[in-house]
Amino acid sequence: MEGEQVGIIPTNEAIQRARDAGLDLVEVAPTSRPPVCRILDYGKYKYEQSKKERISKKKQHSFQMKEMRYRPKIDEHDYQFKTKHVKEFLSSGSKVRAFVMFRGREMAYTEMGRKLLQRLVEDVSEIADVESAPKMEGRTMSMVVSPNSQIMKELKKAYSDKSEDKKTEPADEEKVEKTASEE
């Protein structure tokens, strides 16, 4: 009687069938008329549901938002150093919020900050797309860049290859254990 449909039966008869089988009567679709129920082991069902949920969470790629702070009068070496880190963040699949902080009289020269952010866009254009253009928020000018689709495809491929390698490793360990116990 595995997976067979019984049809419409009274509730007390369904409960009795579940008790006879040593299982639970679970209401699957309570809103339909008549309600749909299944006879199954509820503990096992809950375990399988949580297992499916964990696997789906594992497959999700959550992104992180990294931040990089610049100053309008930044030295060339400092700019290169920070931009190198921005490229690393983008290559690892993170979005980057780059912002320029202005102090005191620097507020009169916000165009320097805009030029700096535009230069950053040009420097990371091969691996990133601008998600939000530079805009002023109080004393800071910020923009968001995200990795382009090509980078994300490469990351997904690398991630799937890595997960496949993990699946094959336990089988190799079992072989080693068997050969060690045979001796």
Give the CATH number, domain containing residue 25: 3.10.20.80
For the full predicted model, state whether its pTM sits above 0.85: no
81 and 141 inside one domain:
yes
Neighbours of 106 (CB within 10 A): 16
115 and 87 inside one domain:
yes
Question: Would residue 90 count as lying in a domain?
Answer: yes
Confirm if 140 and 99 have CB atoms less than 8 A apart: yes
73 and 147 inside one domain:
yes
Buried b (16+ CB within 10 A) or exposed e, 72-95: bebeeeebeebbeebbebbeebeb
- Compute the chain's Rg from CA coordinates: 29
100 and 119 inside one domain:
yes
Closest CA to 112 of 101, 104, 128: 101
Question: Would residue 179 count as lying in a domain?
Answer: no
Q: Which pLDDT belongs to residue 183?
A: 46
Q: Which pLDDT belongs to residue 81?
A: 95
Question: Would residue 172 count as lying in a domain?
Answer: no
Q: Which pLDDT belongs to residue 38?
A: 87
142 and 77 inside one domain:
yes
One digit per residue, the tens of pLDDT, for the chain of length 183 reads 566 787 888 888 888 988 988 888 888 888 888 888 888 888 998 999 899 888 887 776 666 889 999 999 899 999 999 999 999 988 888 899 999 999 989 888 889 999 999 999 999 888 888 988 899 989 999 999 988 887 777 777 777 776 666 655 555 545 445 444 444
Task: Look at the chain and report how many structural domains it folds into.
Answer: 2
Which residues have CB under 8 Å from 60's CB, separation 6+? none
Q: Which pLDDT belongs to residue 21?
A: 87
**Domain span including residue 110:** 65-151
52 and 86 inside one domain:
no
Question: Would residue 3 count as lying in a domain?
Answer: no
Distance CA 145, CA 147 (A): 7
